[in-house]
Structures are given as C-alpha cells and as structure tokens.
Amino acid sequence: MSAVELDSPGSGHDARRAVAHFDPDAASVRAARRFVAEVAELAGTRAADVELVTSELATNAVLHAGTPFRVEVDRDARRLRVAVCDDDPNPPIVQDHGIEAPTGRGLRILAAIADRWGVDASGPGKAVWFELDLDGARHPEPS
C-alpha cells in the first residue's frame, strides 16, 4: 500500500474520506481490507460486511484487472461508500459457476450485502463501488 490520503470534510465529526493505492498482488487484498476497516471504524455485522465485500472487490481487481488499484472510502454518519478502482475498462461480469468452483461468487456476495452498488467509468478503467447505510435501516446491528 502506498500514498494514503486522508481528509475530514466539514460536514460533521463523523465524516471522513481516504484513498490508498495498492499493487496487483494477493497481499494487497488483505491490506485493502485493513485500510477500509480502519477508516470505516465500524463494529459488529456491518464491520464484517465491509471487510468481506472489500476483499471480494480487491480480489477481483487483482485477478481480473491485474493492474495497480486504488481504494476510496467516503464515510459520514449515515453512509459508507467504498470504491475499488483499476485500469481495466472491462466491466465485471456476474458469473454462474458450479458449486465446486473456487471463484465466481464475488459480485453475488456484493449484491447480497450492499445497500447499493454499481460500476462507473473511471479514467482508463473502472470503479466498482458499494454503499452501506449506517442508520440500521436495512441491516440492524444485533442486540
């Protein structure tokens, strides 16, 4: 990981934005997951959700794009948005592999967990992003 940029916009004490850059290797998946977890500062189910989906998107960037990638985190009191940006212009494709296949489930996991997600053109490549609502509307924390 390199060049972490942090910003705390003036929209409240819970607002924060951070960006980190990663090499296209397996160790970067773990580093990206840790980076997002530290910036997001969540607990419980939502923390696990963020780590899982971040891992899936970072793994896709490493396996399919094979380019350096960056992770952008934008959080305020109501919402967390994470984007994984790479230099491959090809959009991700939802795979339908058999039950024994070791890969092909990342976007299905993303769709099941995220409150919103999408793909945007980003320079020469793309940004695959997800948002989680933090107000408990969709996934309340266990009591």
**What is the value of pTM for the model shown?**
0.84
Q: Using an 8 Å Cβ cutoff, are 80 and 18 in contact?
A: no
Please tell me the distance from the alpha carbon of residue 84 to that of residue 103, in angstroms, as a whole number. 19
- Look at residue 107 in the predicted model and tell me its pLDDT: 87
pLDDT (0 to 100) of residue 45? 86
**What values do phi and psi take at 63, rounded to 5?**
-75, -40
CATH number for 2-133 (one of 3.40.50.620, 3.20.20.70, 3.30.565.10, 3.40.50.150): it is 3.30.565.10
Domain regions of the chain by residue span: 2-133
DSSP 24: S
**Phi and psi torsions of 81, nearest 5°:** -125, 130
**CA gap 126, 135 in Å, rounded:** 29
Cβ–Cβ under 8 Å, residues 86 and 124: no
Q: Residue type at 113? A: I
Low-confidence ranges of the chain (pLDDT < 70): 1-14, 97-104, 122, 136-143
